[in-house]
Amino acid sequence: MEKTFIDIIHNMEQYTNLEKNIDHYTTRNYRLDRMETLLAFFNNPEKKYKTIHVAGSKGKGSTSKFIAAGLKALGYKVGIYASPHLLDYRERFTLCGDFFEDNILIEVGNNILDKLNNFKFIDDWGESFPTTFELFTLYGYMLFAHSKCDYAVIETGLGGRLDATNTLIPELSVICPIELEHTNILGDTIEKIAIEKSKIIKKDIPVVTATLKSEAKAVMLNEANNNNSPIKFLEDEVISISSHTTRDFEDTSIIWKDKKNTFLKLKLKGSVMARNVALAILALKALNLYNENLNEAFNNATLQGRFQLLQANPDLYIDAAHTKISIEALVDSINEIENKDKCTVIFGSLIDKDHKSIAPILLNNFKNIILSKPGSFKKSDMNSLFNLFIALNKNSNIELILNGEDALKKAFSITPKDGCILVCGSFYLASEIALAYNKIIK
């Protein structure tokens, strides 16, 4: 019997932790039949409420939060299952962003661990045990059932086809933007990655998608047609989406094909948020749940690690952007409110990201760049990353400072009070710097 939530998490982490593995798929570990058996053993908690399933390379977290905020404003009790977390494992399973009470986390967690002693899964390879992510997924589902949620918004962890969450039969499937990521596992082209993510589309279940590249759009259309699933593409539903980043909010305008306009002032800043909230609205429209009274809920939605301002003078932002398009959008938004000549970037990224596309964006915009290791949870190769930046560099000052606290102290020392520090490249780096900041200011 575990006494604390952290004890329960540590127990679950003793199982195979695929979040640490970014090298390859193995059918021994990445599979759905074991998760299906596990859910059945626990009386299928995921069937006790309605679900919305969200996949994509970027934008899952904020899109899920916008959807959940809209559902909550309608009076529904809504769970969100997300990954990874920034500072606290409780971020992964929330009631629309609010943490579960510790006594509930401990009660449900212990129920799982106690009953797990009698769970067996045997196949041609012999007996195998649930992975950490499978247990976390079950944990979220059990918490939502225990709390009698009406809806749960469920993010995929990796890909879609073999993700543990792909045992759901949701009310709606949502596909966020697709980019090159996890190429060692999901494939080295947009089409291959799109195929993996398209497999969350279920027979006769409606689908909405973000604006996608043509090869990804073709994959989604084919999968939807094969499953008789009604599909709506965001670009076919809007005339325009525009936004302007201010210090206080993202000033957003969405003009729909039916000539109706949506004007928002989002607390979640950054130009990508305009597209993500538009996708969330399209999702709620697909469920016949949207009305304009929900706009205030979208305006007030917040999420850690997304263009998050930790302090002013100098302004310190952390953001989880780690793909070419998301980095481009982040830089554009920063340049709207900050003087880039007075900005210092702290960047660190995992080994499987598209560094060759990201590095020129940062080098072309910022003079001071510090490369720092995004924790040790997943693999990174900071020496190779540093060599890449040096090889492409023309005018920037580049330093490699592996320790996050040291990197942040250096950034403070070289950034003027009226400048800014921008941290980006990975959830894990954002977490490292946020923890370092909390330590420094204490």
The tens digit of pLDDT for each residue in 99-143 reads 999 999 999 999 999 999 999 887 766 778 899 999 999 999 999
Q: Which of 160-174, 211-225, 352-366 has the lowest mean pLDDT?
A: 352-366
E strands within 267-412? 308-311, 315-318, 343-347, 368-371, 397-400
Instruction: Note down the domain range covering 313.
Output: 308-441
Counting residues of the chain whose pLDDT is more than 90, the rounded percentage is 79
Separation of alpha carbons 361 and 424, rounded Å? 12
The reported pTM is: 0.92
Phi, then psi, of 204 in degrees rounded to 5: 70, 5
294 and 326 inside one domain? no
Final residue of a structural domain among 250, 268, 300: 300
pLDDT for 21: 47
Average pLDDT over the chain reads 92
Q: For strand 231-233 and strand 368-371, is the pairing parallel, antiparallel, or unpaired?
A: unpaired
- At residue 338, the pLDDT reads 95
In a shared domain, residues 200 and 227: yes
> In the structure encoding, which two tokens stand for residue 389, read together?
């930046």
* pLDDT at position 36 over 60: yes
Q: Using the predicted structure, report yes or no on whether residue 144 has a pLDDT greater than 90.
A: yes
Mean pLDDT of 245-249: 94
Task: Say whether both 272 and 150 belong to one domain.
Answer: yes
Per residue in 77-107, pLDDT (tens digit) is 999 999 988 889 999 999 999 999 999 999 9
264 touches 295 (CB < 8 A): yes
Which residue, 278, 300, 322, sits at the end of a domain? Answer: 300
CB atoms within 10 A of CB 348: 28
Residue 319 tokens read as 């953001």
Determine the pLDDT at residue 54: 98
Number of domains in the chain: 2
> Is residue 349 located within the same domain as residue 285?
no
Do residues 267 and 355 share a domain?
A: no
| pLDDT band, very low/low/confident/very high, at 185 (cuts 50, 70, 90) | low
To which residue do tokens 């702290």 refer?
346
Q: Which of 253, 273, 300 is the last residue of a domain?
A: 300
Q: Are residues 68 and 94 in the same domain?
A: yes
* Domain CATH number, residue 424: 3.90.190.20
Q: What confidence score (pLDDT) does residue 24 get?
A: 47
| 339 in the same domain as 247 | no
Looking at the structure, tell me whether residues 296 and 317 fall in a common domain: no
Tell me which of 414 and 184 has the higher pLDDT. Answer: 414
Single-letter residue type at 285: K
Say whether both 316 and 296 belong to one domain.
no
Q: Rounded distance, CA 224 to CA 220, Å?
A: 6
Where would I find the H helices in 30-148?
Answer: 33-41, 60-73, 102-116, 132-146
Is the pLDDT score of 30 beyond 90?
no
Q: Predicted confidence band at 25 (pLDDT cuts at 50, 70, 90)?
A: very low
| Count of Cβ atoms closer than 10 Å to residue 223 Cβ | 22
Whether residues 264 and 192 fall in one domain: yes
β-partners of residue 50 are 151
> Is the same domain home to 195 and 47?
yes
Tokens representing residue 242 in the block: 């525009």
